């Protein structure tokens, strides 16, 4: 896939996975950003969504630590109060534009509430348009849950095939696909069980990717970190999480993939940074990929609390974003010492959907 855009896809993937940088996931749907705003008592209007994302995108020197921003369709097309495209400051600072292209989740018949992702119909045309609007990468989220019966072979195969098909369509239209097979934290399962399931899921995904002839060098993986279930009594250290996560990647992820952009998955801001740092600081382990971040909640929680919907707080909110971006940039290089003031409250949401 993607033969026409081969060199550009490889260059884009490597730029996104650059040392000391990661991705800001700002692709919350209208409903999801509404939940975020509710927490700070801000009305979910288009004007407020534009004000908030303008704050994010105009943060001075954001490009020091952020290589790409994932957008929602509305945000890509929105204009600020001066009539300029909201994304203009990102483009001018060399930050790559990404776009969420999936259409959400539906239940898979014959399973115990397991889900697959919609959005393949018309995807080629959407990708072509997004490329013309300046986007150079895309995101598609598949979701798996862990229980006594899940994930089932049906859900594993269905989502693996769809992720690979999405990836091939993206590459044919010049977009680097971020492959996101997210295993939800919900449940009482151990970290060993998460590791086992993550291996099975990621192996199936890369088998499907191989079958559909994707250019691996022009892709990125956005997986969950390997953590215990949210209700598990046995909590783990950052070093435990790092060891299981890196081992899982070693067993499943081809060396030719340039980077791994982890999702935060409901971890607190500080946890997500410390766990990423532990992976990159781990001595002796084979890690041939860039291990970095693609955080939404874990980059924005402090920002929202600082902003509170008030324009007087924009500078403070931008400072909060830069503090988290800098901390995670340091973690990408294994140099984060902790204590950057990251929010320590859990961001876990049961059965999380965008």
Instruction: Quote the distance between the C-alpha of residue 120 and its chain's center.
Output: 20
Separation between Cα atoms, residue 155 and residue 11, nearest integer Å: 33
Q: Catalytic site residue 308?
A: no
Q: Which of 28, 114, 180, 330 is catalytic?
A: 180
Q: Catalytic site residue 180?
A: yes
End-to-end CA distance of the chain: 28
Say whether the peptide bond before residue 33 is cis (omega within 30 degrees of 0). no
Q: Which of 222, 270, 271, 330 is catalytic?
A: 222
Tell me the C-alpha to C-alpha distance, in Å, between residue 266 and each of 51, 78, 335, 348: 25, 28, 23, 4
Which residues carry out catalysis?
180, 222
């Amino acid at each position: 896939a993607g033969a026409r855009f081969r060199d550009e896809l490889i260059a884009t993937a490597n730029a996104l996975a650059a040392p000391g940088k990661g991705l800001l996931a700002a692709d919350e749907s209208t409903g999801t950003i509404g939940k975020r705003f509710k927490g700070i008592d801000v009305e979910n209007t288009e004007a407020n969504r534009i004000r908030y994302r303008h704050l994010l995108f105009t943060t001075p020197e954001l490009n020091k630590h952020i290589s790409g921003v994932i957008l929602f369709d509305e945000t890509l097309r929105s204009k600020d109060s001066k009539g300029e495209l909201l994304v203009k400051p990102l483009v001018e600072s060399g930050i790559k534009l990404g776009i969420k292209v999936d259409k959400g989740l539906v239940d898979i018949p014959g399973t115990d509430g397991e889900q697959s992702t919609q959005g393949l119909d018309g995807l080629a045309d959407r990708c072509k348009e997004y490329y013309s609007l300046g986007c150079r990468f895309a995101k598609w989220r598949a979701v798996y849950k862990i229980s006594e019966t899940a994930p089932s072979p049906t859900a594993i195969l269905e989502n693996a095939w769809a992720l690979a098909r999405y990836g091939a369509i993206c590459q044919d239209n010049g977009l680097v696909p971020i492959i996101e097979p997210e295993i939800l934290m919900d449940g009482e399962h151990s970290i060993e069980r998460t590791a086992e399931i993550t291996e099975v899921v990621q192996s199936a995904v890369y088998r499907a990717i191989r079958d559909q002839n994707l250019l691996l060098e022009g892709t990125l993986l956005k997986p969950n970190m390997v953590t215990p279930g949210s209700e598990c009594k046995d909590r783990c250290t950052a070093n435990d999480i790092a060891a299981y996560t890196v081992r899982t990647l070693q067993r499943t992820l081809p060396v030719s993939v340039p980077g791994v952009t982890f999702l935060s998955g409901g971890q607190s801001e500080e946890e997500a940074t410390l766990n990423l740092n532990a992976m990159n600081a781990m001595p002796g382990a084979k890690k041939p990929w860039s291990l970095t971040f693609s955080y939404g909640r874990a980059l924005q929680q402090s920002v929202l609390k600082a902003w509170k919907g008030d324009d007087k707080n924009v500078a403070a909110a931008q400072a909060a974003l830069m503090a988290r971006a800098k901390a995670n940039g340091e973690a990408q290089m294994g140099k984060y010492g902790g204590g950057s003031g990251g929010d320590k409250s859990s961001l876990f949401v049961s059965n999380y959907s965008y």
